[in-house]
Amino acid sequence: MPVTIRTIKTAVPPTILHQEQARDVFAAQPGLTRLGQRLIATSFDSAAISTRRTAVAELTLDRSSENPVFFDAATRLLLSPSTRVRNELFAREAGPLFVEAARRALEACPDLSPEDITHVVTVSCTGFYNPGPDYQVVRALGLNPQTRRYHLGFMGCYAAFPALRAAKSFCEAEPDAVVLVVCGELCSLHVRSSNNPDTIMGSALFADGAAAAVVTARPPGDGGGVAPQLLLDFFETTLTPVGEESMAWNIGDEGFEMVLGTYVPHIIDDHIVGALEPLLDQDPTLPDAYSEIPHWGIHPGGRAILDRVQHRLELDDAQLAPARRVLRDYGNMSSATVLFVLKDILDGSGPTAAAAGERVCSMAFGPGLTVETALMTLLPGPASGSGSVTGAGPVTGAGPVPGPGPEDR
pLDDT value of position 14:
96
Beta bridge partners of 405: 17
With bands split at pLDDT 50, 70 and 90, how would you rate the model's confidence at 381? low
pLDDT value of position 408:
31
Q: In whole angstroms, what is the distance from residue 185 CA to residue 97 CA?
A: 9
**pLDDT beyond 60 at 196:** yes
pLDDT value of position 406:
30
With bands split at pLDDT 50, 70 and 90, how would you rate the model's confidence at 223? low
pLDDT value of position 118:
98
Q: What is the mean pLDDT of residues 296-302?
A: 96
HEC profile of the chain: CCCEEEEEEEEECCEEEEHHHHHHHHHCCCCCCHHHHHHHHHHHHCCCCCEEEECCCCCCCCCCCCCCCCEECCCCEECCCCHHHHHHHHHHHHHHHHHHHHHHHHHCCCCCCHHHCCEEEEEECCCCCCCCHHHHHHHHCCCCCCCEEEEEECCCCCCHHHHHHHHHHHHHHCCCCEEEEEEEEEHHHHCCCCCCHHHHHHHHHECEEEEEEEEECCCCCCCCCCCCEEEEEEEEEEECCCCCCCEEEEEECCEEEEEECCCHHHHHHHHHHHHHHHHHCCCCCCCCCHHHCCEEEECCCCHHHHHHHHHHHCCCHHHHHHHHHHHHHHCECHHHHHHHHHHHHHHCCHHHCCCCCCEEEEEEEECCCEEEEEEEEEECCCCCCCCCHHHCEECHHHCCCCCCECCCC
Beta bridge partners of 229: 379
Average pLDDT score, the chain:
90
* Dihedral, CA of residue 139, residue 109, residue 230 and residue 117, to nearest 10: 30
Q: What is the mean pLDDT of residues 86-115?
A: 97
Beta bridge partners of 16: 53
**pLDDT beyond 60 at 159:** yes
Higher pLDDT, 341 or 389: 341
pLDDT value of position 58:
92
Q: In whole angstroms, what is the distance from residue 402 CA to residue 71 CA?
A: 14
Q: In whole angstroms, what is the distance from residue 93 CA to residue 227 CA?
A: 31
**pLDDT beyond 60 at 402:** no
Q: In whole angstroms, what is the distance from residue 206 CA to residue 113 CA?
A: 34
Q: Which residues, other chains included, contact 267 with Cβ-Cβ below 8 Å and sequence gap of 6+?
A: 240, 242, 243, 246, 369
With bands split at pLDDT 50, 70 and 90, how would you rate the model's confidence at 221? confident
Indicate the range of 2-16, 158-172, 256-270, 363-377 predicted with least confidence. 256-270
Whole-number percent of the chain with pLDDT over 90: 80
Residue 360, CA distances (Å) to 10, 82, 324, 352, 373 in order? 20, 42, 16, 12, 11
Active site residues: 157
**pLDDT beyond 80 at 398:** no
pLDDT value of position 355:
76
Q: In whole angstroms, what is the distance from residue 73 CA to residue 187 CA?
A: 20
**pLDDT beyond 60 at 136:** yes
pLDDT value of position 260:
77
**pLDDT beyond 80 at 231:** yes
pLDDT value of position 175:
95
CB 333 within 8 A of CB 326: no
pLDDT value of position 248:
83
**pLDDT beyond 70 at 106:** yes
With bands split at pLDDT 50, 70 and 90, how would you rate the model's confidence at 227? confident
Q: In whole angstroms, what is the distance from residue 197 CA to residue 43 CA?
A: 9
pLDDT value of position 308:
96
Distance of CA 89 to the CA centre of its chain: 19
pLDDT value of position 353:
61
Q: Which pLDDT tens digit goes with each residue over 250-290?
A: 999 999 988 877 778 999 999 999 999 999 999 999 999 99
Higher pLDDT, 395 or 330: 330
**pLDDT beyond 50 at 165:** yes
**pLDDT beyond 80 at 397:** no
Q: What is the mean pLDDT of residues 385-399?
A: 55
Q: In whole angstroms, what is the distance from residue 26 CA to residue 395 CA?
A: 26
Q: What is the mean pLDDT of residues 365-382?
A: 89
**Domains of the chain (ranges plus CATH)?**
4-216 (3.40.47.10), 229-379 (3.40.47.10)
